[in-house]
């Protein structure tokens, strides 16, 4: 028990150390700005010991919301020349210097969970934040749907930067004119744990395209070679819509449009079922081709309120076969790489989302098992960015905000 209390104190210290006053950085050096879904998870972590600070985190994130409703994936509050690509590369004109793409919209879900920590104190904060969250949701519904599934227009948007889901799509892209640039991430952590230069050339090519098009969504819809309907964006958007309905009802708001969105997104989620794979998969909108990838995002179905017995069977199998589940890629896949970012490693953040979904859908045994295994992983290997699923060894950045937040809000409570 003493060890658990100590870890809880350490987790708080990670959040406090990475706190920049009104926002939190994922970790010092490697990620010096406010990241969208990292920040949402940080808010849930703060809510376990400082609800006021949790609301500030979310409010600061939405201060960067664009006029059209988009909430960027990075807010560059203070310029740090050590990070690439910085604001000068993106060329965006939001209220706060930012990137031009989004990230998984888990902020509404995290806000809902924060509100539950102290409903009376949080009501005026939620009343002010709610319309902003609805506006972002409406932006996604307007610009990102294909057959009801939510699309990503850049691998970074999903948070799963170099997942094998994007390999076929990126192989068709021409990045020959990307020009010279200097990455900073590989100077902070082992290059073998990071995306390759081949991947990065294509990431920057898409950023350059967005900038040339002034981040005009209609133009990008017409011209971008990268548009993939994927489980991450679809399941997190569906969960957000459900939570927005609940919060709206509690606030006395009209939720009819949101309820219709839930039905539309449920139908969209069904279009991501790859019968041959036997799992939820990513689909290239331009070619109609399946990625053929069973990822940790495939198991976010329960987080979205989508029951699937076949996925539950697969989850039980992976929980038995892998020492530190859930790996970000199928260990049997040719593309599996135990330490390279999203091509195999286990991520505590995704485990928490899967676990919350399992518990919500009544799969308590699986939810508890996953929480215990994630807790063991953190106890043994610390608050790392991600972990080798076979050995548990830490990879990526250290003293990582969202891993500490996962301990405080979920894994440390079993």
Tens-digit pLDDT profile for residues 313-355 = 999 999 999 999 999 999 999 999 999 999 999 999 999 999 9
Q: What phi and psi values does residue 189 have, to the nearest 5 degrees?
A: -135, 170
Q: Are 98 and 75 spatial neighbours (Cβ–Cβ below 8 Å)?
A: yes
Tell me the catalytic residues: 161, 385
Give 182's pLDDT tier (boundaries 50, 70, 90).
Answer: confident
Structure tokens at 393: 């060894």
Residue 3 has pLDDT above 60, yes or no: no
pLDDT of residue 188: 67
The Cα 117–Cα 405 span in angstroms is: 15
Please state the rounded mean pLDDT for residues 349-375.
98
pLDDT of residue 79: 87
- pLDDT tens for 196-209 read 999 999 999 999 99
Give first-to-last CA distance, the chain, whole Å.
12
Vertex 399 angle, CA 396 and 400, to 5°: 65
- pLDDT tens for 252-309 read 999 999 999 999 999 999 999 999 999 999 999 999 999 999 999 999 999 999 999 9
Residue 189 has pLDDT above 80, yes or no: no
pLDDT of residue 193: 78
Q: Are 39 and 61 spatial neighbours (Cβ–Cβ below 8 Å)?
A: yes
The Cα 216–Cα 45 span in angstroms is: 35
Residue 149 has pLDDT above 50, yes or no: yes
Question: 386: which strand partners?
Answer: 395
- Determine which helix (DSSP H) or strand (DSSP E) holds 228, and give its type and residue range: strand 228-229
In the chain, the percentage of residues whose pLDDT exceeds 70 is 98
Question: 284: which strand partners?
Answer: 228
- pLDDT tens for 41-82 read 999 999 999 999 999 999 999 999 999 999 999 999 998 988
Please state the rounded mean pLDDT for residues 370-381.
98
pLDDT of residue 92: 97
Residue 187 has pLDDT above 80, yes or no: no
Looking at residue 297, the DSSP 8-state letter turns out to be G
Residue 1 has pLDDT above 50, yes or no: no
Mean residue pLDDT of the chain comes to 96
Q: Are 67 and 37 spatial neighbours (Cβ–Cβ below 8 Å)?
A: no
- 203 CB neighbour count, 10 Å cutoff: 21
Residue 185 has pLDDT above 80, yes or no: no
pLDDT of residue 2: 38
pLDDT of residue 4: 58
Q: Are 269 and 306 spatial neighbours (Cβ–Cβ below 8 Å)?
A: yes
229 sits in the region (left: phi over 0; alpha: psi -120 to 50; else beta) called beta
In the chain, the percentage of residues whose pLDDT exceeds 90 is 93
């Amino acid at each position: 028990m003493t060890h658990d209390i100590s870890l809880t104190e350490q987790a708080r210290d990670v959040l406090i150390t990475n706190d920049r006053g009104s926002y939190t950085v994922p970790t010092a050096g490697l990620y010096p700005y406010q990241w969208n879904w990292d920040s949402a998870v940080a808010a849930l972590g703060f809510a376990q010991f400082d609800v006021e600070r949790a609301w500030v985190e979310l409010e600061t994130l939405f201060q960067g919301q664009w006029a059209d409703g988009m909430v960027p994936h990075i807010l560059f509050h203070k310029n740090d020349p050590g990070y690439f690509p910085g604001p000068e590369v993106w060329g965006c004109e939001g209220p706060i210097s930012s990137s031009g793409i989004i990230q998984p919209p888990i902020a509404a879900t995290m806000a809902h969970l924060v509100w539950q920590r102290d409903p009376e104190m949080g009501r005026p904060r939620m009343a002010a934040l709610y319309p902003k969250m609805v506006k972002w949701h409406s932006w996604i519904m307007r610009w990102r749907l294909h057959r009801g599934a939510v699309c990503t227009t850049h691998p970074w948007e999903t948070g799963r930067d170099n997942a094998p889901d994007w390999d076929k799509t990126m192989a068709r892209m021409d990045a020959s004119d990307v020009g010279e640039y200097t990455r900073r991430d590989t100077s902070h952590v082992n290059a073998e744990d990071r995306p390759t230069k081949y991947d990065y050339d294509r990431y920057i090519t898409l950023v350059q395209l967005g900038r040339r098009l002034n981040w005009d969504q209609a133009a990008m819809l017409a011209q971008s070679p990268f548009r993939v309907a994927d489980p991450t964006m679809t399941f997190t958007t569906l969960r957000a819509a459900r939570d927005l309905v609940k919060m709206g009802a509690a606030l006395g708001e009209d939720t009819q449009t949101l309820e219709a969105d839930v039905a539309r997104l449920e139908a969209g989620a069904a279009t991501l079922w790859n019968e041959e794979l036997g799992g939820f998969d990513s689909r290239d909108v331009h070619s109609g081709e399946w990625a053929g990838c069973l990822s940790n995002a495939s198991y976010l179905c329960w987080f979205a309120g989508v029951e699937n017995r076949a996925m539950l069977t697969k989850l039980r199998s992976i929980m038995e076969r892998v020492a530190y589940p859930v790996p970000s890629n199928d260990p049997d896949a040719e593309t599996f790489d135990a330490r390279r970012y999203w091509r195999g490693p286990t991520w505590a953040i995704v485990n928490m989302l899967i676990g919350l979904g399992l518990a919500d859908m009544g799969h308590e045994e699986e939810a508890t098992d996953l929480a215990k295994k994630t807790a063991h992983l953190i106890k043994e290997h610390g608050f790392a960015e991600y972990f080798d699923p076979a050995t548990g060894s830490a990879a990526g950045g250290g003293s990582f905000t969202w891993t500490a937040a996962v301990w405080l809000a979920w894994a440390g409570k079993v």
